[in-house]
Amino acid sequence: MFDVAIIGGGLAGLVNAIHLSQAGLKILILEKNDYPKHKVCGEYISKEVLPYLEKLGINPFEIGATSINKFLLSIPNGTQIQTQLPLGGFGISRFTLDHFLYQKSLSHGCVVVKTTVQKIDFLGEKFKVSTREGKEYFATFVIGAYGKRSALDIHLNRDFIQKKTPFLAVKSHYTGDFPNDLVALHNFEGGYCGVSKVENDFINVCYLANYKTFKRYKSIEIFQQEVLCENPHLKEIFSVMKPAFPKPLTISQVSFSPKKTIEHHILMSGDTAGMIHPLCGNGMGMAIHSAKLLSGLLIQFFEKRIKDRHSLEKAYIKAWKLTFQKRLRAGRLLNTFLANQKLLNVGIHGLRPFPALLPFIIKQTHGEELI
Ligand SMILES: Cc1cc2nc3c(=O)[nH]c(=O)nc-3n(C[C@H](O)[C@H](O)[C@H](O)COP(=O)(O)OP(=O)(O)OC[C@H]3O[C@@H](n4cnc5c(N)ncnc54)[C@H](O)[C@@H]3O)c2cc1C
């Protein structure tokens, strides 16, 4: 019997595991993939999470992260605006970061099982977690940290899974010249593409595109040539830089619909609880922050400072809303603005004489430093 079983060993799952195991709790992580593994992600993390990570003994610069403090936004005709980031961030690949966190969780005594979770049953005071191979695990609490979308959401009959999701995402690493300290967001018809450095001088190029626009083209290559390369910044990237992957990674069905923080007593963390638009560059920061909130409350429960499961659930829902609801709303608003070429055109020209306004807008989708 485990104190906490964590479904999904991505960023939220692993940070929860490290935090909880440091408090002496017995932790099980169930993850369907091997480590290390590349993931579709812009790989720019807001520095707001650094003090918390350092407290957990995690220093991303030890594993090669690059420090980023400048932001550039461009529109399809090439008009650009550049500014200093309020807090800044760092670039590190999920390949390296998740693997590092995985090893850290093992060193703290967490049990990690490679399997796909198929079913979670709440039996009153404990959970039964069933895997694809028919194995069963028991735990007092279950954390759902299985990312933005999983077959488990269908099993749990979650509301958002019924809704159509019109986005797909593509990512590859490249070699070439790109400033170490810059994150660029280049707009194109029906989407936007992030570009920034990660460890070992690799350049992450990751874009989110509307499926309606994408399906008019036969392949990723043609789509990139005909749509993304309309923007001269992206044209230069795709013509000069060399891909480091044999072929780009893709995902579809990216959903930004609101989700419930708790379902069937399962405590959701990271994207499983709610996902901010990737253009905000704060999904990973939120995943890490949500792990801090949840782990803190679970530790209080095991130390008998929270009296029962019901009080813990109420406290988590309240803390999650208070911390993230405003950011998610700002992210949705920003996405609506970026998706509308006319609005964006006017906006970027309006902002050019006042670049200091851009950090203010970015701040609305980020939080304070996590102490
Ligand atoms: C195109 C794109 C670009 C992005 N760029 C950025 C960015 O630059 N900066 C930023 O901060 N955020 C970015 N994000 C968001 C960021 O990637 C996510 O917010 C972050 O990965 C959330 O972490 P997580 O731990 O919640 O989920 P994940 O990292 O997705 O982890 C979930 C884990 O659960 C496992 N899993 C799933 N189902 C099961 C199952 N049934 N059983 C066992 N295991 C399971 C998966 O294998 C996975 O390892 C981007 C997202 C997208 C789509």
Instruction: Tell which one of 271, 290, 294, 324 to mutate to probe ligand 1, the residue whose CB is within 8 A of the most ligand atoms.
Output: 271
Nearest residue by C-alpha to atom 12 in ligand 1:
283
237-272 as b/e, with b when 16 or more CB fall inside 10 Å? bbeebeeeeeebbebeebbbeebbbbbeebbbbbbb
Residues contacting ligand 1 via CB (< 6 Å): 7-13, 30-33, 40-45, 116-117, 145-147, 150, 152, 169, 194, 206, 208, 254, 270-272, 275, 278, 281-285, 287
Lookup: tokens for 170: 């593509």
Nearest residue by C-alpha to atom 17 in ligand 1:
41
Query: What dotted CATH number matches 2-363?
Result: 3.50.50.60
The residue among 234, 240, 249, 245 whose CA lies nearest residue 195 is 234
pLDDT value for 42 = 96
Q: What is the DSSP letter of 159?
A: G
H, E, C per residue of 244-280? CCCCCEEEEEECCCCCCCEECCEEECHHHCCCCCHHH
pLDDT value for 225 = 95
The residue among 370, 371, 317, 361 whose CA lies nearest residue 86 is 361
Q: Which residues contact 162 (CB under 8 A, 6 or more apart)?
A: none
Mean pLDDT over each residue of the chain, to the nearest integer: 93
Does 71 have pLDDT greater than 80? yes
- Measured in angstroms, how far is the CA atom of residue 44 from the centroid of ligand 1? 13
* Contact criterion met (CB below 8 Å) for 196 and 183: yes
- Measured in angstroms, how far is the CA atom of residue 11 from the centroid of ligand 1? 7
- Measured in angstroms, how far is the CA atom of residue 353 from the centroid of ligand 1? 37
Lookup: tokens for 249: 């990674």
Q: For CA atoms 72, 174, 89, 228, give the dihedral sign.
A: positive
- Measured in angstroms, how far is the CA atom of residue 156 from the centroid of ligand 1? 19
pLDDT value for 359 = 75
pLDDT value for 341 = 76
> HSE-up of 54 (CA within 13 Å, CB side)?
9
pLDDT value for 94 = 98
pLDDT value for 338 = 75
Lookup: tokens for 271: 């994207």
pLDDT digits (tens, 9 = 90+) for 223-272: 999 999 999 999 999 999 999 999 999 998 887 888 999 999 999 999 99
Position in ligand 1 atom list of the atom nearest CA 43: 8
- Please report, for residues 145, 297, 360, 371, the alpha-carbon distance to residue 284 in angstroms, rounded to integers and kept in the order given: 12, 20, 20, 17
- Measured in angstroms, how far is the CA atom of residue 206 from the centroid of ligand 1? 14
pLDDT value for 190 = 87
Lookup: tokens for 304: 């008998």
- What's the whole-number mean pLDDT along residues 280-295? 93
The residue among 129, 150, 130, 149 whose CA lies nearest residue 139 is 129
Q: Is 98 exposed, middle or buried, given 0-12, 13-18 or 19+ CB atoms closer than 10 A?
A: buried
- Measured in angstroms, how far is the CA atom of residue 281 from the centroid of ligand 1? 13
Instruction: Tell which one of 148, 155, 220 to mutate to probe ligand 1, the residue whose CB is within 8 A of the most ligand atoms.
Output: 148
Nearest residue by C-alpha to atom 31 in ligand 1:
10
Residue 213 CA, chain-centre distance (Å), reads 24
**What pTM did the predictor assign?**
0.95
